[in-house]
């Protein structure tokens, strides 16, 4: 296959998110993170109190976010930050912290509309759990999506129920499949978030994950390596039994990603491969690589192997 013949229509060897996003909106669009004060059934006692074993929300939340500020203020602060460099940029309000469909429908409507009221906001990205959506919520999002870009980003994390049980996720993979299929059937954009390297999962398990996800109507995919964060149950488990964990080196993870991409449906847009957290929260692994530096390594390895996303997709 030549560069010009890749199914996504450009010369990158995977269906990358920045190119897709720029083409879709015919210009620059940036996510602006919002903490709307939601919680999670794994923390409020409905399912559990301590959350998923790997989760520390501080590891991915920008400093300007916080439920003590109104949604409108958070949106404006984020826009002010990015607009300095790109004055004509448009924005998506990214409801990121905890489970952002986990409330009564009227509460959700009020909080989403507060973000959409900003004239430069053209849509929503809602991070949530597969067990925190209902047909009624999805029907409302389908109505919103007639006028705005709406994406629901589901924390799937693993396709294996034994892993989901081990990390105290509180739902099984069947729930994720149902949520993604129901969301897609309403013409709402979908994203799946998965962690590579959870304890007990083998390399073959992870490659099978690529096959499983490829059979679902997932538009965007966010991957990241397992990281051990301070303040989590997994940090306690890692300290007690480090032999239960295989934390990839950067080189190992590059090779895994290339193998994963070969099996992945070429229609899926890959939003990221890795995640970075602040040094004061990260226990391991410590690669010392920025996200873009890791992408360069993946692109180099794809070229060296003369392979591309979906080459082995069935």
If DSSP states are collapsed to H, E and C, what string results for 131-175?
HHCCHHHHHHHHHHCCCCEEEEEEEEECCCHHHHHHCCCCCCHHH
Calpha distance 173→158 (Å, rounded): 7
pLDDT at 86: 84
Give the residue among 121, 61, 62, 127 at the shortest CA–CA distance from 92.
121
Place of tokens 């010369």: 11
DSSP letter for each residue of 9-41: SSSSSS-BHHHHHHHHHTS-EEEEEE------T
Place of tokens 């269906």: 15
The CATH homologous superfamily to which domain 3-304 belongs is tm_1862 like domain (3.80.30.20)
Domain boundary assignment for the chain? 3-304
Q: How many CB atoms lie within 10 A of CB 247?
A: 18
Q: How many helices (H) and strands (E) does the chain have?
A: 10, 9
pLDDT at 279: 86
Type and span of the H or E element at 195 = strand 189-196
Per-residue pLDDT for the chain (314 aa), expressed as one digit of tens each?
554 579 999 999 999 999 999 999 998 999 999 999 999 988 888 887 777 878 876 655 555 556 789 999 999 999 999 988 888 899 999 999 899 999 999 999 999 999 999 999 999 999 999 999 999 999 999 999 999 999 999 999 999 999 999 998 889 999 999 999 999 999 999 999 999 999 999 999 999 999 999 999 999 999 999 999 999 999 999 999 999 999 999 999 999 999 999 999 999 999 999 998 888 899 999 998 999 999 999 999 999 999 999 999 98
Q: What angle do CA 141, 143, 148 make, to 5 degrees?
A: 80
pLDDT at 191: 98
Calpha distance 18→292 (Å, rounded): 12
* Total-model pTM: 0.93
pLDDT at 57: 63
The one-character DSSP state at 249 is P
Q: How many CB atoms lie within 10 A of CB 297?
A: 17
Place of tokens 């929260």: 281
Q: What angle do CA 223, 287, 162 make, to 5 degrees?
A: 40
């Amino acid at each position: 296959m030549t560069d010009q013949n890749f199914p996504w229509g450009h010369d990158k060897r995977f269906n990358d998110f920045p190119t897709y996003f720029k083409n879709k909106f015919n210009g620059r669009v940036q996510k602006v993170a919002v903490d709307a004060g939601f919680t999670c059934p794994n923390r409020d006692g409905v399912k559990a109190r301590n959350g998923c074993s790997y989760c520390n929300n501080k590891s991915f939340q920008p400093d300007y976010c916080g439920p003590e500020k109104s949604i409108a203020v958070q949106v404006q602060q984020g826009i002010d930050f990015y607009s300095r460099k790109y004055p004509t940029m448009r924005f998506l309000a990214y409801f990121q912290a905890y489970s952002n469909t986990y409330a009564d429908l009227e509460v959700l409507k009020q909080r989403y509309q507060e973000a959409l009221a900003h004239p430069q906001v053209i849509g929503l990205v809602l991070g949530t759990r597969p067990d925190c959506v209902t047909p009624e919520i999805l029907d409302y999002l389908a109505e919103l999506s007639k006028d705005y870009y709406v994406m629901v980003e589901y924390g799937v994390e693993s396709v294996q129920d034994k892993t989901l049980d081990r990390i105290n996720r509180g739902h099984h993979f069947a729930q994720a499949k149902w949520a993604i299929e129901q969301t897609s059937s309403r013409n709402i954009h979908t994203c799946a978030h998965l962690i590579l390297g959870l304890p007990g999962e083998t390399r073959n398990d992870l490659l099978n994950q690529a096959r499983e996800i490829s059979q679902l109507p997932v538009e965007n995919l966010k991957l990241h390596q397992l990281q051990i964060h301070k303040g989590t149950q997994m940090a306690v488990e890692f300290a007690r039994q480090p032999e239960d964990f295989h934390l990839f080196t950067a080189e190992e993870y590059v090779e895994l990603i290339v193998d994963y991409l070969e099996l992945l449906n070429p229609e899926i847009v890959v939003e990221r491969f890795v995640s970075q957290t602040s040094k004061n929260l990260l226990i391991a692994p410590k690669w010392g690589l920025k996200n873009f530096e890791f992408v360069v390594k993946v692109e180099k390895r794809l070229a060296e192997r003369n392979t591309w996303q979906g080459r082995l997709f069935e």
